[in-house]
Structure 1
Amino acid sequence: MTLAMSWDEWAEHDATALAGRVAKGELTPAELAAQAAAAIARTNPATSAVIEVFEDVVADPLKDGLDPRGTFAGVPYLMKDLGPTLKGRLQEMGSLLMRGNRAAADSYLTGRLRQAGLNILGRTTTPEFGLCSSAENPAVYVTRNPWDTDHTTCGSSAGSAAMVAAGALPIAHATDGGGSIRIPAGVNGVIGLKASRGVFSIAPGASDLTGLVSTQGCVTRSVRDTAAFVDSCRGGAPGEFMPYWMPAEPCSTLIRRDPGRLRVALSHEWGDYRATPERVRALEEAGRFLEKLGHHVEWALPAVDFRAAFAAQTTCYISNFAQTINNLLAPRGLERPPAGLIEPVCVRVWEEGLNISYTERAQMQAVFNTTSRSFGAFFEEWDIILTPITALPTPRIGTTEYLTISDNPSVLDWFGNLWRNFAYTPLANLCGIPGISMPMAMQENGLPLGIQALARQANDGLLLQLAAQIERALQGRWNAGKRPGVHVTGR
């Protein structure tokens, strides 16, 4: 089969560039789909990041309702196997229990993606129900980091981050309930924005009120692609519990200008959690880089009761995931999770979560409130908080302490261990504020290290504006211009 582009040419194009060539008549959506399918075939054997390619959509990109007049004009897109559903397509959520589960209808966001011109042509891997930090259960699949396949991609948007990093396609779907966009973006060397509440709908199955901490999004290799995604796919469905806000100016326009002089707080000491010296040095270097761009940078931290905040976040996850699992059991006539079909920690979370009372949830929400107010007060004085994306080195494949196949008998201890590495992302979900992971640094083991920027609620545009300024200053050379070992170009 003859492809429309060389692999070097394919890897140099972001989604915006590909859409521009389609608009000029130089390429067609079918040619892009064929190239993406071939790119997946080149990179997936080493990474195990894609579960399924929809061959019928590769053959006919318009068959599922894609609007080729949308912003992305037929650019290929992979859907994480969790969250928005695709009518008639499998959605198995990383779980043996869900094998063969087909969606009866499209989710609201699915329709927005297709209106935006994104060609959804396959599914990417995720840990079971998106709960843990790596898509890594040998009974299901083991997704590997394209920078070093002995290491995890982290998660839960594991496969999407790996495929974008490997150059298979420029943009893919991701979700974030506690860092699941930003963390895999950070350790795979791509860009991951977790939007504020009130940007992307999770209708019809949930809302920002019922979902509380979860949001939708994407991973990309360029800031302009992320900005275009936000502009094209944002907005609430009919009947949302809360208003969906619109910015005064589209993000795609805003990012063309540098922000004004920003007040940037560096931080890595979040309660009991600390980053390794390597990460502190990387954070300091990022701070110096921003100073050279004209921003004011110093160490500062919100006055937050971090122990209470992480305890509340843990209560939220346990009770939310327990109900998610419970809602999947009832239609199958099951009274409890089958041990052979649901992973051990997920079973324990279900057991623990069913006993959480309304009073405990009310106490959790009270802590959410005080934590959010503390961050809000902080952002009256500061524009940005800058942190490393993780506190510890990226785990190697087989590090079961972070996985839901762990034999840890204590759910609380298991979550506590998770926070020791992934402390810097979940409180943004708790507060509904935006955060972005930017591939600005490298770990000693050769893997990327994302630097996270947080801002006040509804300041998503400022994060993208800052990221675009950094991207220009780096001349587009994220990850110091390096590519992962597994890459569509073969080098």
Structure 2
Amino acid sequence: MTLAMSWDEWHRHDGVALAGRVRRGEVTPAELAAQAAAAIARTNPALDAVLEVFEDVVADPLKDGMDPAGAFAGVPYLMKDLGPTLRGRRQEMGSLLMRGHVAAGDSFLTGRIRQAGLNIIGRTTTPEFGCCSSAENPAVCVTRNPWNTGFTTCGSSAGTAAMVAAGAVPLSHATDGGGSIRIPAGVNGNLGLKPSRGVLSVAPGLSDLSGLVSTQGCQSRTVRDTALFIDSCRGGAPGEFMPYWTPPEPYSELIRRDPKPLRIALSHEWGDYRAVPEFVAELERVGRLLEGLGHHVEWVVPEVDFRAAYAAQTTCYITNFAQTIAGLLRQKGLERPPADLVEPMNIRIWEAGINASYSERAAMQAVFNTASRAFGAFFEQWDILLTPITALPTPPLGTTEYLTLSNNPDVRDWFNNLWKFFAYTPLSNLCGIPGLSMPLGRQAHGLPLGIQAQTKQAGDGLLLQLAAQIERALDGQWNDGRLPGVHVTNAVS
């Protein structure tokens, strides 16, 4: 098969650039889809990141309702196998329990994605129900990091992170209930924005009230792709429980200007959690970069009751996942999760959370409120809060303590161990504030290290504006211009 571009050329194009070529008549959406499918075939054997390519949509990009007049004009796109559904397509949620499950209709956001001109050509891997830190159950998938295939991509947007980093597609769908966009973006060298509440809808199955901490988004390799994705896909479905807001100008316009000089807080000493020294050094280095761009930078610790916040977040996770699993069991006429179809920790989470009381949830919500107000007060004094994306180095594959395959009998102890690793991302979900992982650092073992910027609710545009300023200062060379070992430009056909 003759492809429209060389692999070097394909890699140099982000989604905005590909859409521009389509509008100029230089390539067609079908040619882009064919190239993306070939890129997946070229990289996926080493990464195990894509579950399925929709060959019928590759052949006919209009088949499922993609609007070629949308902003992305037919750019290929992959959907995480969790969250928004695709009409008539399988959604198996990383679980043997859901093997073969076919969705009856498109979710609201799926429709927005299609209207944006993104051509959904396949689905990417996720851990079971998106619960743990790595898509790593050999019975389903073992997704590998393209920078070093002996390491995890982290999760839960595992396959998306690997495919964007490997250059197969310029951007791809991701979800985030505690860091699942930002963490895998950070350890795979991508950009990953978790938007504020009131940006991307989780309708019709959930709302921002019932989902509470979960949101949608994407990973990309350029700021303008993420900005255009948000511009094109934002907005609430009819019947939302809270207002959905629109910024005064599109982010695609805003990012063309540098932000004003900002007050930036560097931080990593959050309650019981500390980043390893190599990550602190990387954060400090990025702080100096930002000072060079004219920003004021200091070390600051937010005045937050971190222990109470993480305990409440743990209660939220246990009770939310228990109800998620219960809903799937009802669909199948089952009374409890079968041990041969559901991973051990998810069974224990169901057991721990299925009979939670309203009083437990009310106490949790009270802490959510207190923590949210504390972060709100912090962002009255500081524009940006900067942390490493994780506190600990990315583990090699097979590190079961972070997996829902773990044999840890204590659910809360298992979550507490997760927080030691993922110390800096979950509380933005609790507060509904935006967080952006930028590929600015490097771990001692060679994997990328994302540096996370957070700001007040509805400050998504400021995060993207700062990232665009950094991107220009780096001449677009995120990750110091390095490429991962598994990449479309160097993979063996």
Q: TM-score, normalised by structure 1?
A: 1.00
Q: How does 1:39-438 map to 2 (within 5 A)?
A: 39-438=39-438
Task: Specify the code of the residue in structure 1 equivalent to 2:345.
Answer: V
Report the equivalent of 1:482. Answer: 482
Report the equivalent of 1:444. Answer: 444
Secondary structure at the aligned position of 2:265 is classed as strand
User: Shift in Å at residue 302 of structure 1?
Assistant: 1.6
Distance 2:116 2:355 in 1: 43
User: Shift in Å at residue 34 of structure 1?
Assistant: 0.1
Task: Specify the code of the residue in structure 1 equivalent to 2:308.
Answer: A
Q: In the TM superposition, what whole-angstrom CA distance separates every residue of 1:213-269 from its partner, at most 9, and x where no partner exists?
A: 000000000000000000000000001010000001110000000000000000001
Q: In the TM superposition, what whole-angstrom CA distance separates every residue of 1:75-127 from its partner, at most 9, and x where no partner exists?
A: 00000000000000000000000000000000000000000000000000000
Secondary structure at the aligned position of 1:45 is classed as helix
Task: Specify the code of the residue in structure 1 equivalent to 2:314.
Answer: T
Secondary structure at the aligned position of 2:205 is classed as coil
User: Shift in Å at residue 178 of structure 1?
Assistant: 0.2
Task: Specify the code of the residue in structure 2 equivalent to 1:216.
Answer: Q
Distance 1:220 1:324 in 2: 28
Task: Specify the code of the residue in structure 1 equivalent to 2:372.
Answer: S
User: Shift in Å at residue 442 of structure 1?
Assistant: 0.7
User: Shift in Å at residue 331 of structure 1?
Assistant: 1.7
Q: TM-score, normalised by structure 2?
A: 0.99
Task: Specify the code of the residue in structure 2 equivalent to 1:169.
Answer: V
Secondary structure at the aligned position of 1:162 is classed as helix
User: Shift in Å at residue 354 of structure 1?
Assistant: 1.3
Task: Specify the code of the residue in structure 2 equivalent to 1:107.
Answer: S
Distance 1:121 1:13 in 2: 18
Q: In the TM superposition, what whole-angstrom CA distance separates every residue of 1:171-224 from its partner, at most 9, and x where no partner exists?
A: 000000000000000000000000000000000000001100000000000000
Task: Specify the code of the residue in structure 2 equivalent to 1:419.
Answer: W
Report the equivalent of 1:473. Answer: 473
Distance 1:330 1:264 in 2: 48
Secondary structure at the aligned position of 1:216 is classed as strand
Does 1:21 find its partner at 2:32?
A: no
User: Shift in Å at residue 301 of structure 1?
Assistant: 1.9
Q: CA RMSD, aligned part only? A: 0.5
User: Shift in Å at residue 333 of structure 1?
Assistant: 1.1
Secondary structure at the aligned position of 1:39 is classed as helix
User: Shift in Å at residue 10 of structure 1?
Assistant: 0.2
The unaligned stretches of length 5 or more in structure 1 are none
Secondary structure at the aligned position of 1:2 is classed as coil
User: Shift in Å at residue 11 of structure 1?
Assistant: 0.3
Task: Specify the code of the residue in structure 2 equivalent to 1:412.
Answer: R
Q: In the TM superposition, what whole-angstrom CA distance separates every residue of 1:403-459 from its partner, at most 9, and x where no partner exists?
A: 000111010110010000101000000000000000001111010000000000000
Secondary structure at the aligned position of 1:3 is classed as coil
Secondary structure at the aligned position of 1:368 is classed as helix
User: Shift in Å at residue 386 of structure 1?
Assistant: 0.2
User: Shift in Å at residue 355 of structure 1?
Assistant: 2.8
Distance 1:183 1:251 in 2: 23
Distance 2:67 2:230 in 1: 17
Deviant stretches of 4+, over 6 Å: none
Task: Specify the code of the residue in structure 1 equivalent to 2:99.
Answer: R
Distance 1:61 1:78 in 2: 13
Secondary structure at the aligned position of 1:123 is classed as strand
Distance 1:381 1:398 in 2: 43
Report the equivalent of 2:37. Answer: 37
Task: Specify the code of the residue in structure 1 equivalent to 2:264.
Answer: V
Alignment: residue pair count:
491
Distance 2:10 2:74 in 1: 15
Task: Specify the code of the residue in structure 2 equivalent to 1:136.
Answer: E
Q: In the TM superposition, what whole-angstrom CA distance separates every residue of 1:37-68 from its partner, at most 9, and x where no partner exists?
A: 00000000000000000000000000000000
Distance 1:113 1:354 in 2: 34
Secondary structure at the aligned position of 1:470 is classed as helix
Distance 1:139 1:66 in 2: 33
Q: In the TM superposition, what whole-angstrom CA distance separates every residue of 1:292-347 from its partner, at most 9, and x where no partner exists?
A: 00000001122100000000000000000000000000121100000000000000
Distance 1:278 1:374 in 2: 29
Distance 1:129 1:332 in 2: 16
User: Shift in Å at residue 490 of structure 1?
Assistant: 0.7
Task: Specify the code of the residue in structure 1 equivalent to 2:298.
Answer: E
Task: Specify the code of the residue in structure 2 equivalent to 1:89.
Answer: R
Task: Specify the code of the residue in structure 1 equivalent to 2:128.
Answer: E
Task: Specify the code of the residue in structure 1 equivalent to 2:96.
Answer: L
Distance 1:354 1:246 in 2: 37
Distance 1:298 1:357 in 2: 43
Distance 2:331 2:265 in 1: 48
Task: Specify the code of the residue in structure 2 equivalent to 1:246.
Answer: T
Secondary structure at the aligned position of 2:8 is classed as helix
Q: In the TM superposition, what whole-angstrom CA distance separates every residue of 1:1-58 from its partner, at most 9, and x where no partner exists?
A: 0000000000000000000000000000000000000000000000000000000000
Distance 2:121 2:331 in 1: 28
Distance 2:450 2:302 in 1: 21
Task: Specify the code of the residue in structure 1 equivalent to 2:204.
Answer: P
Distance 1:243 1:372 in 2: 18
